[in-house]
C-alpha cells in the first residue's frame, strides 16, 4: 500500500505539490490525470524518493522512500516519460536490470514478444538508436519483468502506435491483474478498460478522486 500524507513541495516561490493526500491500495490501477504542470511527474518523483518534500510523509508498504530508498525501490518499477539517451546496447541494459533486480531474460523477451518487438533482432543495438516506440517497449518489458508489486508509468503510450498501445493494455490485463499500477496520462481513453481509480490534479492539488467500474 502507498500512503501519501499531506505532502507539500515548493520550488522557489511555486508550490508544485500542495497538501497532497492519497492512498493507493494493493492491486489498484490508478490513473493520475491533469494539465501540463499540474504536478503529476513531481508526485511520482516523490513516491520514488527522488524528491524530498518540504512537509508530509510517503510510505511504500510502510517504508519511507526518502529514508530507505533501496528497500522502497524493491517494491517499485518505473517507466519514465522520456527514455534516457543510454549508450548501452539493449542486451547490456537488460543484463544490468537483471543483475540489480533479480529479473530474468526469458521474462523480458516474452514481454517484448507480447509487445511485438524481437529481442534477438535488436539486442546488439545501442539503446539510444532505437525508435521512440521501441525504447518505450524495452523499458516497459524491463519494468514488467522486475518482481516489484507496483509499476508506475509516466505517459507509457505516448510513443506507441495504437496497435502497440492495445497490446500493452492487453498484456497488463492478462498478466498483471494483481499488481498495483499507477499511470500518468492526459487522456483516460489511453488506459481505458484497466483503470480502477482516477485521480485528477490541478495546480499541485488533488481536485477529484473517483473509482471506475471496468466491465
Minimum CB distance to ligand ATP, residue 8 (Å): 13
Q: Which CB sits closer to ligand ATP, 34 or 111? A: 34
Minimum CB distance to ligand ATP, residue 164 (Å): 21
Q: Which CB sits closer to ligand ATP, 44 or 72? A: 44
Q: Which CB sits closer to ligand ATP, 102 or 132? A: 132
Minimum CB distance to ligand ATP, residue 72 (Å): 20
Q: Which residues bind ligand ATP (CB under 6 A)?
A: 11, 16, 34, 36-42
Cα gap 82→75, rounded to integer Å: 22
Q: Which residues on neighbouring strands pair with residue 191, listed in sequence order?
A: none
Provide CB contacts within 8 A for 136, sequence distance 6+: 79, 83, 156, 158, 159, 160
Minimum CB distance to ligand ATP, residue 208 (Å): 15
Contact of 118 with 112, CB cutoff 8 Å? yes
Q: Which CB sits closer to ligand ATP, 93 or 160? A: 160
Q: Which CB sits closer to ligand ATP, 117 or 201? A: 201
Minimum CB distance to ligand ATP, residue 51 (Å): 8
Contact of 198 with 183, CB cutoff 8 Å? no
The C-alpha cell of 155 is what?
A: 505517459
**Burial class (CB within 10 angstroms; exposed 0-12, middle 13-18, buried 19+) of 87:** exposed
Q: Residue 211, SS3?
A: strand
Amino acid at each position: 500500500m502507498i500512503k501519501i500524507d499531506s505532502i507539500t513541495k515548493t520550488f522557489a516561490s511555486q508550490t508544485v505539490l500542495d497538501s497532497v493526500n492519497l492512498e493507493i491500495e494493493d492491486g489498484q490501477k490508478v490513473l493520475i490525470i491533469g494539465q501540463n504542470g499540474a504536478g503529476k511527474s513531481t508526485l511520482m518523483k516523490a513516491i520514488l524518493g527522488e524528491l524530498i518534500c518540504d512537509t508530509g510523509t510517503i510510505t511504500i508498504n510502510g517504508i519511507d522512500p526518502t529514508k530507505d530508498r533501496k528497500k522502497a525501490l524493491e517494491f517499485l518499477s518505473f517507466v519514465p516519460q522520456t527514455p534516457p539517451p543510454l549508450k548501452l546496447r539493449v542486451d547490456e541494459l537488460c543484463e544490468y536490470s537483471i543483475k540489480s533486480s533479480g529479473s530474468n531474460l526469458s521474462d523480458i523477451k516474452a514481454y517484448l514478444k507480447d509487445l511485438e518487438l524481437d529481442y534477438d533482432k535488436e539486442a546488439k543495438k545501442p539503446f539510444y538508436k532505437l525508435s521512440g516506440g521501441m525504447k518505450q517497449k524495452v523499458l516497459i518489458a524491463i519494468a514488467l519483468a522486475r518482481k516489484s508489486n507496483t509499476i508506475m508509468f509516466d505517459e507509457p503510450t505516448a510513443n506507441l502506435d495504437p496497435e502497440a498501445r492495445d497490446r500493452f493494455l492487453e498484456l497488463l490485463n492478462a498478466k498483471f491483474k494483481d499488481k498495483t499500477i499507477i499511470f500518468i496520462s492526459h487522456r483516460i481513453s489511453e488506459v481505458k478498460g484497466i483503470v480502477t481509480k482516477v485521480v485528477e490534479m490541478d495546480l499541485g492539488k488533488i481536485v477529484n478522486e473517483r473509482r471506475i467500474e471496468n466491465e
